[in-house]
Amino acid sequence: MRSVLPPLLLACVQIALLLCSFLQALTVDNVDFGEHVETQTGARDSLSRKHHRVYQLYSRTSGKHVQVLGRKIIATGEDGNKYAQLVVEADTFGSQVRIRGKETNFYLCMNRRGKLVGRKANSANDECVFIEMVLENNYTAWMSARYTGWYIGFTKKGRPRRGPQTLPNQQEVHFMKRFPPGEQPNLQHSSFTTVSKRNRRTQETSASPDAQS
């Protein structure tokens, strides 16, 4: 007589065969999903609609806000100062952004010496692209996309620090994104009511015209 495998054992054998085929495909094709995500994060996106948002960048060390004064960059702006209103432009698959002064229309950039400088809005230089990183302490840091390991940073007096002198764990590179006065998103108040099977009929009865008459 021909032996018949129990259904459960047969299902286990089929799953094992599928798993072996999947692992073999990964080995042959050398698929690296992490590398794919990293590549897509760094790719420019010229088709999607650009996401722009106006923020103030509050410096943890100076206690003031980052200002783009044309070619000069400092972190001594008061809350609501027109030069402290910055347009954060995201135009990639991931977290790469450009930071532009709303008043001066100059971009915040980092040159090859690690110095923070302002450049005209028509500049397409990669030195004006930064990678936005949300830290464990809920502060945000911006690392140069061109010069890996160099961050936007300021001293207690609001003076820019050079990129080679910065580290991600330094308070000098920690910022808090704040909406300018009057730029807060309009969040409409919404009330929610939990309706259970027990009180659903009661609510329907009280809401009917016959019940109100």
- What is the reported pLDDT for 157? 97
For residue 20, give the H/E element and its range: helix 7-29
> Would residue 123 be called left, alpha or beta, if left means φ above 0 and alpha means ψ between -120 and 50 degrees?
beta
Q: Which domains does the chain have, with CATH numbers?
A: 44-178 (2.80.10.50)
* pTM score over 0.75: no
- What is the reported pLDDT for 2? 47
CA distance 129 to 100: 11
Per-residue pLDDT tens over the stretch 148-187: 999 999 999 999 999 999 999 999 999 999 999 977 665 4
- What is the reported pLDDT for 194? 42
- What is the reported pLDDT for 196? 47
- What is the reported pLDDT for 202? 45
Mean pLDDT of the chain: 78
Report yes or no: 130 and 152 within 8 Å, Cβ to Cβ: yes
- Which percentage of the chain shows pLDDT scores above 70? 60
> Average of pLDDT values for 109-125?
89
Task: Please choose, from the candidates 108, 69, 112, the residue with its C-alpha nearest in 3D space to the C-alpha of residue 89.
Answer: 108
Report yes or no: 151 and 143 within 8 Å, Cβ to Cβ: yes
